Amino acid sequence: MQKIFRLYEKYKEIIHYLIVGGLTTVVSLAVYYGCVLTILDPEVPVQLQAANIISWIASVTFAYFTNRRFVFESKNQNRLREAAAFYSSRLATLAMDMACMFLMVTVCGWNDKLAKLAVQVIVMVANYVLSKFFVFQKK
């Protein structure tokens, strides 16, 4: 049991990030699918990207608060600056997300729901790196 606890302590941040990242992905996918299954048509490129942006806003807002508290345990008193850095880093991965979705769905004709799932894995890794080294830096 001690060995498991030591492994948990060693990899706590990554374990928590995977859990929070998984929940963030659920938020993103739920909002995206909710949009394209109700009011937006993924066959229309502008509506596809609108659904993507709406899901991004919801998931990034959820991710900021959960990453701040449960993953990186930030004590930064300047929350506005920290949030701005977080949203800025997420804008970079949004551009990556949108480019991948455009290529996979619009150019290559892949199923938008499967493409969105694949893109989320890439984005999740990039988000961890940006959060760890640029947003929630330990002093």
Q: What are phi and psi of 88, to 5 degrees?
A: -65, -45
125, with CB counted inside 10 A (0-12, 13-18, 19+), is exposed
pTM recorded for the entire structure: 0.76
pLDDT of residue 21: 87
Chain CA centroid to CA 73, Å:
18
pLDDT of residue 129: 92
Residue 57 predicted with pLDDT over 90: yes
H helical segments located in 39-111? 45-66, 79-101
